[in-house]
Amino acid sequence: MKIVSVVGARPQFVKLAPIDQAMRAAGVDHVIVHTGQHYDPMLSDVFFEDLGISAPDVHLGVGSGTHGVQTGAMLGALDGVFDEHRPDWVLVYGDTNSTIAAALSAVKMHLRVAHLEAGLRSFNRRMPEEHNRVLTDHAADLLLAPTQVAVDHLIDEGLAERTVLVGDVMTDVLYTVRDEVAGRPSPLVAELGLTPGEHYVATIHRAENTDEPDRLAEVAAGLGGLDRPVVLLAHPRVVARAAAHGIPLTQGSLIAHAPLAYPELIASALHSAGVVTDSGGLQKEAFLLRVPCTTVRTETEWVETVDLGWNVLAGTAAEIAAGVTRPQPSPTDAAPYGDGHAAERVVEVLTAS
Ligand code: UD1
């Protein structure tokens, strides 16, 4: 059996890690195509190295651009790649421009498409990710859902017959890496002279928080006004937008820092007083590590984290401040994101059909 995985952005490399491992264990001919959407080494290469992912077989090198230019460049390049490999399945991940490009190219070549992390919905149609995931779900032949909530969304959209609940592959990676870094100190504590458990770890990169200068200024000032040091692991998008609009990312409590590799991120979150983020993955990772999370968005796809009390949504600076200082959430052993063996289930489903 031959399966082509198409990835391109940081969260997709994390999801690819357990899938690649499970594919190799099952003897699948696994071809990895990297679109090149993310090209900075700290957003790409370190994930392959640290998480033991096979090197990409094909690298399209599309780089950055507007949505249309970036997605179009991927579409143009993928036709030839799929034609050469003619896989049994094309596996696409999450909700980025790399996801929709690969799904669209593959279905038009009559190749079977499986969508990993299917069925997530924010119901916010201003998010590029929402269009990418809805369109990919409706194009794909097999919908691999991470949670029961995602399954329910797919049922509501008439996609029940194509849907399988497999669990969340990010849980697989998180559990492995959490055990590897247990006992390791946070790399940020020594470097920045912080006190363990007395600082926050933040990431902000979504267009809705970065692209409008007034909004970015409010978020930066809100983080700068918090009661403890806040280390902002700054994605290139936020660095570029802040520089363009003259908004300081180091102000008050806020300290800008380069992005971290995955194990270092997990070690840092573990030793923090809380996480403040607009990342989908980090909301869930914080929950799985049982670190309180404050999400700088008006909605979340990972509603279980909010329902269980480990995540709160915060739009304004005042809401962010209230979020990080709220009482410690109640302990829970709920496991809405699966048992850490989702990737094996994905490969079982793919190889059985
Ligand atoms: C993309 C995904 C988003 C995901 C995020 C994870 C889409 C629509 N969005 O957003 O869902 O949460 O990845 O990080 O696919 N840049 C660099 N170096 C890089 C990559 C990007 O400098 O390696 C800069 C460029 O200026 C680029 C900007 O960041 O224009 C945005 O990058 P892009 O890949 O378009 O989207 P992300 O914001 O990373």
Q: Which structural domains are found in the chain, ordered by start? A: 2-168+338-352 (3.40.50.2000), 177-324 (3.40.50.2000)
pLDDT for residue 353:
87
Which is the closest atom of ligand 1 to the Cα of 280?
A: 12
Active site residues: 205
Ligand 1 centroid vs 230 CA: distance in angstroms?
A: 22
pLDDT for residue 136:
98
Question: Mind listing the pLDDT tens digit for each residue in 140-197?
Answer: 999 999 999 999 999 999 999 999 999 999 999 999 999 999 889 999 999 999 999 9
Which is the closest atom of ligand 1 to the Cα of 237?
A: 29
Edge-first strand order for the sheet with 311-313 is 254-257, 230-233, 200-203, 274-277, 293-295, 311-313
Query: Measured between alpha carbons, how far is 311 from 291 in angstroms, rounded to an integer?
Result: 9
What is the residue with the minimal CA distance to atom 15 of ligand 1? 96
Query: Which residue is associated with the tokens 């919905």?
Result: 121
- Which run of H or of E encompasses 342? helix 342-352
Ligand 1: which residues within 6 Å by Cβ? 9-11, 37-40, 43, 64, 95-97, 128-129, 205, 235-237, 240
Quick check: 281 and 289 in contact, CB under 8 A? no
pLDDT for residue 133:
98
Distance of CA 36 to the CA centre of its chain: 16
Which is the closest atom of ligand 1 to the Cα of 236?
A: 22
pTM of the model: 0.96
- Point out the residues of the chain with pLDDT beneath 70: none
